[in-house]
Amino acid sequence: MENQEKCNGKIDVCSDHVIHQDTLNYIYERALNDSTVNDLAEFFKMFGDPTRLRILHALSVAEMCVCDLCEYLGMNQSAVSHQLKILRHSRLIKYRREGRNVYYSLDDEHIGQIMKVGLEHLMENK
Amino acid sequence: MENQEKCNGKIDVCSDHVIHQDTLNYIYERALNDSTVNDLAEFFKMFGDPTRLRILHALSVAEMCVCDLCEYLGMNQSAVSHQLKILRHSRLIKYRREGRNVYYSLDDEHIGQIMKVGLEHLMENK
DNA sequence: GGAACATATAAACATATTTTCATATATAAA
DNA sequence: TTTATATATGAAAATATGTTTATATGTTCC
């Protein structure tokens, strides 16, 4: 094999880029598969929008009906319902109807934990 | 005050929506402030894209140079550098130059923890 | 049944994000 | 100093996301 021993003394077999084949092999062995990566990204995406994050945080404090949430968020009902729908589809929240009102609450024990670790990160980085 | 005692027997003071004022007060007292919410959302947003998530996961396994990452991700160098820039600005990764290569690694101890909790969530929900 | 209220949703709109393309910068080697 | 290599970046293109507007659905009260 030609093209060996470049890139700071490590092995290289790539066509036009210098790479560390040993490191790559190591990473490939430990890589998450595509569907896991996509699902995980979708999960974290839920926490990546201020509106949804405020909803999740509020629901971690108490069960709330939609109009409570609209008032709390200062947003119109449609926008809130849209975000609730997204969170519902991600199975992060659940709901129950009581008369005309629909009450939302968390449906996942990891939500509090995730937000906690995130907040710890913020604290430690000023 | 008029408009009291509606909405399932709970107190209500809102102009045109029925709300639970007691719940709202409780939530308001515990609410995160705006800048915290925004910072936290920005932090989680980093984990909410498959490309960035794969980068973060790979770097949690080993330090890597940019061309390693391009090969691993199967993406062109520019796209990878753009994501690295975003992760750098969020202070999640750091880099060191060694000759022509730039080596990236994680710059935050919470990253592994966050991904771990996320993966636990996936496992427990099939 | 009809009116009023709470919530949901489709479609349009506005904005943000990611990737690509072209090019710039930095370092090393010749 | 010229050339090659590795990485970075601005701008455009492609795509995704969030909010608004208008309307539909489900429930209660009369």
Tens of pLDDT, residues B21-79: 889 999 999 999 999 999 999 999 999 999 999 999 999 999 999 999 999 999 999 99
Closest CA to B124 of A39, A21, A60, A94: A39
Q: Which CATH class is domain A45-124?
A: mainly alpha
Per-residue confidence (pLDDT) for residue B10, from 0 to 100: 34
Residue A42 (CA) to nucleotide D16 (C1'), in angstroms, measures: 13
Of chain A, the percentage scoring pLDDT greater than 70 comes to 85
Q: Which of B18, B47, B122 sits opposite A39 (nearest CB)?
A: B122
Nucleotides of D under 7 A from a protein CB: 5-11, 17-23, 26-29
Q: B97 beta carbon < 7 A from strand C?
A: yes
Tens of pLDDT, residues B93-108: 999 999 999 999 999 8
Contact B121, A42 (CB under 8 A): no
Per-residue confidence (pLDDT) for residue A108, from 0 to 100: 86
Per-residue confidence (pLDDT) for residue B99, from 0 to 100: 93
Q: B38 beta carbon < 7 A from strand D?
A: no
Q: How far lies B61's CA from each of A38, B36, B54, B55, B106, in Å? A: 19, 30, 11, 10, 9
Per-residue confidence (pLDDT) for residue B108, from 0 to 100: 86
Size of interface A-B (CB pairs under 8 A): 173
Contact B92, B111 (CB under 8 A): yes
Per-residue confidence (pLDDT) for residue A2, from 0 to 100: 30
Annotation: CATH topology of B42-124: Arc Repressor Mutant, subunit A (1.10.10)
Say yes or no to pLDDT of B18 above 90. no
Q: Given 3-state DSSP classes, what are the helix, strand and coil percentages for chain A, each rounded to the nearest 5?
A: 55, 10, 35
Say yes or no to pLDDT of B16 above 90. no
Instruction: Phi first, then psi: give them for residue B16, nearest 5 degrees.
Output: -125, 0
Contact B68, A20 (CB under 8 A): yes
Which ranges in chain A are annotated with CATH 1.10.10.10?
Answer: 45-124
Q: B9 beta carbon < 7 A from strand C?
A: no
Tens of pLDDT, residues A29-42: 999 999 999 999 99
Coil, strand or helix: which one is A15? Answer: coil
Per-residue confidence (pLDDT) for residue A6, from 0 to 100: 33
Closest CA to A122 of B29, B44, B94: B44
Task: Using an 8 Å CB-CB cutoff, list chain A residues near B37.
Answer: 50, 53-54, 57
Q: And the tokens for B52?
A: 């960035």
Contact call for A110 and B118, based on CB within 8 A: yes
Q: B79 beta carbon < 7 A from strand C?
A: yes
